[in-house]
Amino acid sequence: MNKTMVSQWKILRQDKWLLSSLTWLPIVLALSIWWIFSQGIARDLPIAVVDFQHSSLSRKLINNIDATSALQVTHAYGDVLSAKNALVGNEIYAYVIIPKHFDRDIYLNTPPQVSVFYNSQFILVGKVINSAILQAAGTFNVQVSAIKQLTKGNATLKSAVSKSVTIQSQITPLFNKNSDYSQFLVSAIVPALWQISIVVSCVLLLAANHRLYGAHSLLLKQPLAKLVKIIAFYIPFFIAQGGAFLYCFYVVLQWPMNGNFLILLFIQLVTIIACVIMGCFFYFLTLDAARSMSLAGAFTAPSFAFMGVTFPTSDMGTAAQVWRSLLPISHYIEAQIDQVSYGLSAWQTIASFMPTMLWYGLPLGLILLLIKKHRRQLQPELGTDNESL
């Protein structure tokens, strides 16, 4: 066992936060995220109805809404203000307003204005509510139209339905056939947490080396070679974390996997190097653990939001797109989707992934400049000669 390994094992025994970020803490966070979304499909979301008509037709529409698997009508209010307060107070996820002249408009072939209000900040919930309401309204429209056809006479139930639904559509999702949002969200949230773990761990390990062995141990006598040796000790921990969540996703949970695990492991290794570069950059920018940790937290905090998984990248502002391009995990998640969902070849994935990752050579160059700067400040104090990196 060489000197670097001995010194790093000593640091791990003494620094509980670093040991936690490398071992049990990422596991607990990943399991917590999976448990939160383990149900997979949103069901029986509580909503309210404000029915100003109180007729058999309005009750039929309410029953259709309640019959959907995603929604459950749990409240009925006599005024809009009460329903709005319930929505603001998180008692319900949405409320439906059935207008006063609902029946009259149907009989006169004038489409009634049924309004639905929900909190669009809950992106996934809003999407589920919108889809379920459209499904219930479509079913109701077919039922009403079929009844009108039957009342005209000379029509069977089958022909009445066929006249009501002139075009039948079938929507088939290609890459998440069960619309399982745990598969959709967890496979992106966990890599985002993984990136945070790597960057934070890098700051912690550099701070620990600085604290235990002094600045001169990092900055003097071939600092670049010493830095590479220290980081190389921790790389297997990060690889194990990345490989573990891939194994859990696509072997234990048996989520669909159309690509190659080896390609993803290679891409994870490149992503780890990019994250380590950013962690080192934040630390050598200040040589202060608290400040560099704050910078690392601010940098990685919007990882999931800026990935482009839940919100289209094309709709992001310029600042968000620039920030996204700086996050290593944003490029990794694209490669993961290419492999897992699309099953692209190794060359296609690497060809689109590697050119963007080469840009992390810029912060690597800045790290070298920062090391030289700190060495110049440190050398007069120790009376040492200038050495090459």
Burial of 195 (0-12, 13-18, 19+ CB in 10 A): buried
pLDDT for residue 252: 94
> In a 10 Å sphere around its CB, with 0-12 CB exposed, 13-18 middle and 19+ buried, how is residue 343 labelled?
middle
Helix, coil or strand: residue 247: helix
- The pLDDT of residue 181 is 77
H or E stretch including 241? helix 223-247
The CB-based long-range contact list for 9-15 (8 Å cut-off, 24+ gap) reads 10/212, 11/205, 11/208, 11/209, 11/212, 14/208, 14/212, 15/204, 15/208
What is the pLDDT at residue 166?
A: 56
CA-to-CA distance for 35 and 26, rounded, in angstroms? 14
Measured CA to CA, the distance from residue 287 to residue 206 in angstroms comes to 9
Per-position pLDDT tens, the chain of length 389:
588 889 999 999 999 999 999 999 999 999 999 998 887 777 889 999 999 999 999 999 999 999 998 899 999 999 999 999 999 999 999 999 999 989 898 888 888 889 999 988 887 788 889 989 998 988 888 777 766 665 666 555 555 455 555 566 666 767 766 667 788 889 999 999 999 999 999 999 999 999 988 887 777 778 888 899 999 999 999 999 999 999 999 999 999 999 999 999 999 999 999 999 999 999 999 999 999 999 999 999 999 988 888 788 888 889 889 999 999 999 999 999 999 999 999 999 999 999 999 999 999 999 999 999 988 887 665 555 555 56
Rounded Cα–Cα distance for residues 63 and 57 (Å): 10
Cβ contacts of 369 within 8 Å, gap of 6 or more: none
**Distance of alpha carbon 273 from alpha carbon 288, whole angstroms:** 22
- Answer for the pair 353, 335: CB distance below 8 angstroms, yes or no: yes
Q: Which two tokens stand for residue 357?
A: 């990752």
**Entry pTM:** 0.83
State the DSSP string of 167-222: S------SS-TT--HHHHHHHHHHHHHHHHHHHHHHHHHHHHHHHHH-HHHHHSSS
pLDDT at residue 91, as a whole number? 93
